[in-house]
Structures are given as structure tokens and as C-alpha cells.
């Protein structure tokens, strides 16, 4: 268990991860009701014979719920199926993640439109991602889609304006060149100095040249296919002028993004679209510290270290488990990807004139002790420590952090008992009860007069549902509970809907399981389509709904769906797309398709904490970090909004998003921390 000074051992682990991915020559598909070999083969672009070869007996009978091995051929991931994997990070691994779409078949370009033949399983949303257009642009070009669903084999017109600007992959290097680059990544000693040239120096000694042996490439222009970066919930006393100034945009830009605003009048609780800045991967926050409301964007103070040695001393303790085996496990692959994202954050901060010296340690298996790491002299001089992962190691690291007054950031752990009494702990992955409480608070911010129609399944109600019902009772707000029965008459549901124009009718399942939801979605759509005499109708869901969005995208959009989650990103957003390209170019592979993406998690955590720490000024660590409860910094996948759990305790992350899939085919996330 030694410090990884040159990190060369990690090269073998990383290459092993790549080999592990390469050996996985098939993907698992769970058979859906009504599917046959022919339809499954069409989805994946393979033949029935190829499926039968991997699944003997499947030519005789296949059943719903059965898992089939599908050879990887034309696409890497299925279109309609999602596989869920759960761990301490509430991780879910979709086999077809949003934004990773099969390239569509375009038959011809006529009169400025691409004529696209719809493939099985494709949705309007997938077409928007594939071609870089909005849902409304597709509807305008194909008015029939406003009243009739998309069908396989149908030819639709796609505006060519944005589609022709689609990015082309740069996979032009040989496997040997990729491998050599990959190995060189881990020969960096760990110093990332702001004073190093960001251009081509005579000695070639900068971060990118040490990795690639050449000058860093300039990012290509990113096509902004998302109209908004944030959705802002209007608070009492706010105006179009004050909101536009707080986000550093003009009133005309705000009004253009929100055509529903008339005569510059907005009301409390209204949700506004905040246009996404197009000139930077890291948008400027409305207030760099958040202590006071400003009329103009605040210029960050000069970057300085907490210590006066000119560099932030940063320790990263992760279980690479290099001594265990040369064959990487799934957990090892996650830790490598987290580390790689963390390195990208450090490089971005170096471009912002922040100097960092990174010390990386392998914590080994859970049964090993951290003492050989913690007892080194250099650990006592750290400005901040990230990790460890294993819960068995947290107690040791927490005691060390308290003894030496060093902030300890816990990226993965939950249920940390020391959090209540140790002021140096920062828990990123909040306990479920915290996420639940925040979700309830935000629900009522969005829907102050909800009329909730619960649809009860046979299973035990989700904790969030039970909590919401108790809160509705406490506030004196009525609600209805119906059986989740597709044979029930829709009329009782319609009669329970409110006619009050100021109210919102909320349709909500009592559990988060996909099977029950799938049965009720057609019923909800019938209710939605007969809304002439009732108030607005919305479907409200659970964090798991982001894993169902690929399968139910059309229904979710039609039902104006909302759900809360601790992590979310739209892969078409400029910042997410830019980071994904940087990751791919540096490491020769894509981030693994799981929720959350560990590469993005490493980037967000590294960027948020180190940028905040560098700009707080020289002071005792506890003073510096206590001020970060009001610190705001844009992130890509994970929201950060820390609160202290007790006067003598540490900090937990209460930042969650509310995702809104709108009827017009647009998708946004509301970040209440801003």
C-alpha cells in the first residue's frame, strides 16, 4: 500500500478495463411482452440466426422477462431495454442511455430537409438528439405528429440546418497509438502548476504534452441543442429585470426564451427558462459566493491557496486494488473512471490559474488498514482529502481529518455516523431521507396548489409517496387514491380532477416500479387527452424515472412529466458533450453507460471543491469550508448545496434536481441551489 508516485501501475489496470470491455462481445436484452426474435433482431441490426446461436432453444420459445444474449454488431446498446444495477451510489446502468442513440437512416435530402425513415423503438426525443434539432422543429416540419404517434417505417422530415453540423468521430488512430497514449497518462508525477504554459512551449512541458506528447487540441465548436441551462422558479418580489441581471443575461434574452411572458409580468412560483451561455463550458454563476444578491455578475477574487505555498496539496484515496489481481473488477473500473474525470477537472482548473499538487493512493481492499497511508508525513500537510470508498475506511480517515484539521470529502459513503460530530466531513452522496425531504420541499415550490391523484399498486408505497401524503394532510390539501387498475373506468379519474385554473392536477404512482407504471401510462394518456374542462395535468415520478425515460419518452413528454433526482445530465448539453469528447480523446474510450457516470462524478467533485477552496483565501480550513455553504459553482451531473448537519458536525449535500420533460418535447432540469 504505497503512494502511487508515478502511477504507472494504473496503466495496466486501465488497459485491463479496456480489455474487459472488449471481451464483452454481447449485450443482454430482457424480452418485453409481445416481442419475438424477428422484432428483437430488427432493433439490434442482427439476424435471428445470430441470436439463436448465442441462445440455444430461443428458436422454439421466448418469454417476457427472459434475458437474451445479443451479439454486438451494428449498435452497442439496445433501443428499448434498460438494465438496473444498484449500489451505494444509487447507481442504475441503462443499456440504452439517453443521448447515446443509434445513428438514424437518412434516405435523401430534399428542399433543405433530411428525410428520415423511422426505425423500431425510435422516438421524437431520440431524433432531436441524433440530428441536433428541437422537438418543436420536428413537429413544425411534420404537423401530423402532433396528433398521431411516431411509427416504424414512417418517413419524417428533419431540418437540415443543425443536422449537417453534427460532430464526426475522430477515431483515426491505431490501437497501438491509443495504447501508448493510455500508458503515458499515468506517468504524470502529480504537479499541475498554473504557471505552466497553456500553449506550445519550447520544452513541451505542459499537462497535455506530458500525456500526448503534443500540444493540447482546441475544442471544436459545440452546437447548443438545448435552449436552457436552468429553470428558475420565480420568488416573491423578483422581476424580469432582477432575474436577467442575476444570471448575467439581458431582459430581451430572457423574454425570448420565455414567450409565455406577456407585458413583462411574472408571478411567484412560475418556472422560467434561463438561456444557456454559448461561449464557455463552465457557465458563470449568478453570484460567486452567494452571500448577497448582486445586480451584476461578481468577478471571482484572485486564485490563491489556503496555504501560502502556491499550490493546493490534494490527496485522493481510492481502492484501485492493484495488488489484488491483474484483471479489473467492476468496482475497480468505476474508480479508474472517477480518477480520470478528477484529472480532467484539475486540468480545467490549471487553465484557470490554479496550481495543484495531487497525491494519489491505493487504499486496497476493505479489510486492509489505511494507517500506512495516513501515517506518512506528507498526509499531515494536505489542504484537502478525497475518499476513501470503503465504509470500513471512513472511520480511520475521519479521525485523521479531525486530528489534523483537514477537510475530508466523502464521494460515495452514506450513513456516516461521524458526520454528526466531525466538522471536517463533507458527504457528497446524501442519505435517502435527505433527498426525500428536499424532493418534498421542491414539490410544493413547483405546485403550491396541487390536486394529487395517487394510483395505488399492490406493493408497499414508496417512502417519498407516504411522506408526500402526510405533508398534504398537514397542509390541509385533499387528495384521491385510486387502484392502479387499467380496467377501471376513466370517468372517476376525470371527475376527481380540479377545474381551478390556479391548481395543478398531479398523477402519481404510489411505487416507483416500471411494471406498474407501464400498465397505467395508457390510462394517464387518455386522461391527458380529455382535458377540455380541467386544470393542467402533470405526471410526477421518482428518481428511477430517468432510467425509464428511454422506453417511455413519448408518454413522458405528453404527460408533462416531472421527477426529482440527486444526479442528472442531458448528454446533448454543451458542457456534457464537451467533457465526453475530452474524456474520449484523452483515454481512448467512452465513459461507461451507467447512472451516475463516474467520470462526470469525478469531474464535478474535483472542480467544485478545488475551485471553491482556491478562491476562499488563506484562512483556517474550518473557516474556509464553513463559508462554502453559500458557494455556488456550475456542475455537469451532480448538484451541490451543502448544509451543516449540527453545530458541531459536518456537512451533507442537499442539492437535488427536478427534471421536467415538457409537452413540447424539451427537457430541462430545475436546480434550486441557484
| Domain covering 87-166 in this structure, CATH number | 3.10.350.10
131-135, 359-363, 617-621: which is most confident: 359-363
CA distance 282 to 115: 36
Least confident of 145-149, 493-497, 540-544, 666-670: 145-149
pLDDT of residue 345: 94
For residue 442, pLDDT over 90 is answered with: yes
Pick the CATH number of 25-71 from 3.30.43.10, 3.10.350.10, 3.30.9.10, 3.40.50.360: 3.10.350.10
pLDDT of residue 544: 93
Least confident of 90-104, 440-454, 506-520: 90-104
- State CA 428 to chain mean position distance: 14
Cβ–Cβ under 8 Å, residues 555 and 526: no
Please, what's the b/e burial string for 115-153 (b: 16 or more CB within 10 A of its CB; e: otherwise)?
ebebbebbbbbbbbbbbbbbbebbeebbeebeeeebeee
CATH class, range 434-565: alpha beta
pLDDT of residue 104: 38
pLDDT of residue 54: 87
Backbone CA torsion sign across 346, 348, 350, 355: negative
Confidence of residue 418 (pLDDT cuts 50, 70, 90): very high
**21-74, pLDDT tens digit by residue?**
434 577 788 777 667 777 677 667 778 888 888 888 887 788 877 888 888 754
**90-131, pLDDT tens digit by residue?**
343 333 333 333 343 445 667 778 888 888 767 776 676 667
Query: If you average pLDDT over residues 280-300, what whole number do you get?
Result: 35
For residue 579, pLDDT over 80 is answered with: yes
For residue 664, pLDDT over 80 is answered with: yes
CA distance 158 to 132: 10
CA distance 469 to 154: 44
Cis peptide before 518 (omega within 30 of 0): no
Which ranges in 164-206 belong to alpha helices (H)?
175-185
95 vs 577, which has greater pLDDT?
577
Backbone CA torsion sign across 626, 632, 633, 638: positive
| Domain covering 1-23+173-219+307-430+576-656 in this structure, CATH number | 3.40.50.2300
CA distance 428 to 420: 15
- State CA 46 to chain mean position distance: 31
Query: If you average pLDDT over residues 164-178, what whole number do you get?
Result: 35
Closest to 188 measured CA to CA, from 8, 16, 352, 314: 8
How far the first Cα of the chain sits from its last, in Å, is 42
Confidence of residue 295 (pLDDT cuts 50, 70, 90): very low
Query: If you average pLDDT over residues 460-467, what whole number do you get?
Result: 94
- What values do phi and psi take at 210, rounded to 5? -70, -30
- How many Cβ atoms sit within 10 Å of the Cβ of residue 59? 12
pLDDT of residue 137: 79
**517-555, pLDDT tens digit by residue?**
999 999 998 888 876 667 789 999 999 999 898 899 999
User: Are domains 25-71 and 434-565 of this chain identical in fold?
Assistant: no
For residue 218, pLDDT over 60 is answered with: no
Residue 549 vs residues 217, 332, 452, 659: alpha-carbon distances, Å: 35, 28, 22, 11
222 vs 343, which has greater pLDDT?
343
Pick the CATH number of 228-299 from 3.30.70.260, 1.10.10.10, 3.10.350.10, 2.120.10.30: 3.10.350.10
Q: Would you kindly state where each structural domain of the chain is located, as residue ranges?
A: 1-23+173-219+307-430+576-656, 25-71, 87-166, 228-299, 434-565
592 vs 280, which has greater pLDDT?
592
CA distance 80 to 77: 9
DSSP 335: H
Amino acid at each position: 500500500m504505497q503512494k502511487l508516485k508515478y502511477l504507472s501501475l494504473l496503466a495496466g489496470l486501465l488497459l485491463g478495463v479496456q480489455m474487459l470491455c472488449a471481451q464483452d462481445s454481447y449485450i443482454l436484452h430482457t424480452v418485453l411482452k409481445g416481442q419475438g426474435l424477428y422484432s428483437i433482431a430488427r432493433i439490434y441490426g442482427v439476424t435471428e440466426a445470430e441470436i439463436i446461436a448465442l441462445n440455444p432453444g430461443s428458436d422454439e420459445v421466448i418469454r417476457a422477462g427472459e434475458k437474451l444474449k445479443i451479439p454486438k454488431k451494428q449498435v452497442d446498446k439496445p433501443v428499448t431495454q434498460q438494465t438496473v444495477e444498484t449500489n451505494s451510489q444509487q447507481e442504475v446502468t441503462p443499456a440504452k442511455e439517453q443521448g447515446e442513440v443509434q445513428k438514424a437512416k437518412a434516405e435523401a435530402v430534399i428542399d433543405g430537409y433530411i428525410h428520415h425513415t423511422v426505425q423500431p423503438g425510435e422516438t421524437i426525443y431520440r431524433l432531436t438528439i441524433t440530428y441536433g434539432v428541437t422537438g418543436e422543429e420536428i413537429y413544425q416540419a411534420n404537423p401530423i405528429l402532433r396528433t398521431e404517434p411516431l411509427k416504424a417505417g414512417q418517413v419524417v422530415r428533419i431540418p437540415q440546418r443543425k443536422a449537417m453540423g453534427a460532430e464526426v468521430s475522430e477515431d483515426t488512430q491505431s490501437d497501438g497509438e491509443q495504447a501508448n497514449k493510455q500508458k503515458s497518462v499515468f506517468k504524470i508525477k502529480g504537479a499541475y502548476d498554473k504557471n505552466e504554459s497553456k500553449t506550445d512551449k519550447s520544452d513541451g512541458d505542459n499537462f497535455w504534452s506530458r500525456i500526448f506528447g503534443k500540444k493540447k487540441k482546441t475544442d471544436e465548436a459545440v452546437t447548443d441543442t438545448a435552449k436552457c441551462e436552468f429553470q428558475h422558479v420565480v420568488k416573491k418580489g423578483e422581476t424580469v429585470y432582477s432575474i436577467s441581471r442575476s444570471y448575467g443575461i439581458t431582459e430581451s434574452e430572457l423574454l425570448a426564451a420565455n414567450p409565455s411572458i406577456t407585458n413583462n409580468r411574472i408571478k411567484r412560483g412560475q418556472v422560467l427558462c434561463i438561456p444557456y451561455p454559448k461561449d464557455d463550458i463552465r457557465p458563470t454563476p449568478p453570484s460567486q459566493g452567494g452571500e448577497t444578491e448582486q445586480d451584476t455578475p461578481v468577478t471571482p477574487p484572485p486564485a490563491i491557496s489556503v496555504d501560502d505555498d502556491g499550490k493546493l496539496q490534494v490527496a485522493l484515496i481510492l481502492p484501485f486494488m492493484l495488488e489484488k489481481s491483474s484483471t479489473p473488477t467492476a468496482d475497480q473500473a468505476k474508480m479508474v473512471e472517477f480518477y480520470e474525470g478528477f484529472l480532467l477537472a484539475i486540468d480545467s482548473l490549471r487553465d484557470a490559474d490554479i496550481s495543484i499538487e495531487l497525491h494519489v493512493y491505493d487504499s486496497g481492499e476493505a479489510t486492509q488498514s489505511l494507517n500506512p497511508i495516513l501515517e506518512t508525513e506528507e498526509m499531515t500537510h494536505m489542504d484537502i482529502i478525497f475518499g476513501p470508498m470503503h465504509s470500513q475506511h471512513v472511520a480511520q480517515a475521519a479521525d485523521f481529518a479531525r486530528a489534523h484539521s483537514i477537510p475530508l470529502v466523502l464521494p460515495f459513503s452514506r450513513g456516516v455516523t461521524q458526520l454528526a460530530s466531525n466538522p471536517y466531513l463533507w458527504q457528497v452522496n446524501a442519505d435517502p431521507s435527505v433527498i426525500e425531504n428536499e424532493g418534498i420541499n421542491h414539490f410544493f415550490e413547483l405546485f403550491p396548489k396541487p390536486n394529487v391523484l395517487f394510483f395505488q399498486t399492490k406493493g408497499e408505497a414508496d417512502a417519498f409517496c407516504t411522506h408526500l401524503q402526510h405533508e398534504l394532510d398537514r397542509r390541509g390539501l385533499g387528495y384521491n387514491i385510486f387502484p392502479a387498475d387499467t380496467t377501471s373506468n376513466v370517468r372517476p379519474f376525470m371527475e376527481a380532477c380540479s377545474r381551478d385554473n390556479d391548481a395543478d392536477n398531479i398523477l402519481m404512482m404510489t411505487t416507483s416500479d416500471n411494471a406498474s407504471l407501464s400498465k397505467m401510462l395508457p390510462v394517464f394518456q387518455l386522461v391527458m387527452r380529455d382535458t377540455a374542462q380541467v386544470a393542467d395535468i402533470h405526471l410526477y415520478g421518482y428518481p428511477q424515472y430517468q432510467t425509464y425515460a428511454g422506453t417511455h419518452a413519448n408518454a413522458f413528454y405528453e404527460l408533462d412529466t416531472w421527477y426529482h433526482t440527486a444526479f442528472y445530465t442531458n448528454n446533448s448539453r454543451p458542457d456534457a458533450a464537451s467533457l465526453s469528447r475530452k474524456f474520449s480523446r484523452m483515454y481512448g474510450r467512452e465513459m461507461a453507460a451507467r447512472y451516475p457516470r463516474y467520470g462526470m462524478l469525478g469531474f464535478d467533485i474535483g472542480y467544485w471543491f478545488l475551485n471553491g477552496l482556491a478562491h476562499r483565501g488563506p484562512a483556517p480550513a474550518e473557516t474556509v469550508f464553513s463559508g462554502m455553504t453559500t458557494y455556488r459553482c456550475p456542475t455537469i451531473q451532480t448538484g451541490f448545496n451543502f448544509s451543516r448537519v449540527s453545530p458541531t458536525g459536518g456537512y451533507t449535500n442537499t442539492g437535488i434536481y427536478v427534471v421536467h420533460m415538457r409537452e413540447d418535447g424539451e427537457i430541462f432540469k430545475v436546480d434550486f441551489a441557484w
